[in-house]
Amino acid sequence: MRTLLTWCGLAVLAPLLYAMTLTDGQDLLPVGAAHATFALAMAAPLAWARRWPSAVLAVLLAEIVAATTLGQPAQRIWPLLPFADVPVALLAAGRSRRAALAAAAATALVQEAAWQVDLLRQGLRAGAPGFLALSLLLGLGIVVAWMAGTSIRQRREYAQALRAHAEVQAITGERLRIARELHDMVAHSIGIIAIQAGAGARVIGSRPEQAREALGAIEATSRQTLKGLRHMLGVLREQPAPPVEGLADLERLAETITAAGLRVDVRRHGRPRPLPAAVDRSAFRIIQESVTNVLRHAGTGHCQVVIGYGSQELRLDVVDDGRGAAGDGNGHGIAGMRERVALLGGDFSAGPRPGGGFRVTARLPLTTAAGRAATEVGAP
pLDDT tens digits in sequence order for the chain, 380 residues long:
555 555 555 555 555 555 555 554 444 444 455 556 656 666 667 777 778 888 888 888 888 888 788 777 766 777 777 778 888 888 888 888 888 899 999 988 888 888 778 777 776 665 555 567 777 888 888 899 889 889 988 888 888 888 888 888 877 777 777 777 777 667 767 777 777 787 778 878 788 877 877 788 787 777 777 777 776 666 666 555 455 678 988 888 888 888 778 889 999 998 888 888 889 988 998 998 898 888 888 888 889 999 999 988 999 999 998 877 665 455 567 888 888 898 888 999 998 988 888 999 999 998 744 444 444 444 33
Query: What CATH fold (topology level) applies to the domain 262-380?
Result: Heat Shock Protein 90 (3.30.565)
Alpha carbons 136 and 141: distance in angstroms, whole number: 9
The strand pair at 313-320 and 263-270 is best described as unpaired
For the beta carbon of residue 95, count every other beta carbon within 10 angstroms: 16
pTM for the model stands at 0.46
For the beta carbon of residue 159, count every other beta carbon within 10 angstroms: 10
Alpha carbons 290 and 142: distance in angstroms, whole number: 68
Task: Kindly give the interhelix angle for 2-21 and 33-43, rounded to the nearest 10 degrees.
Answer: 150
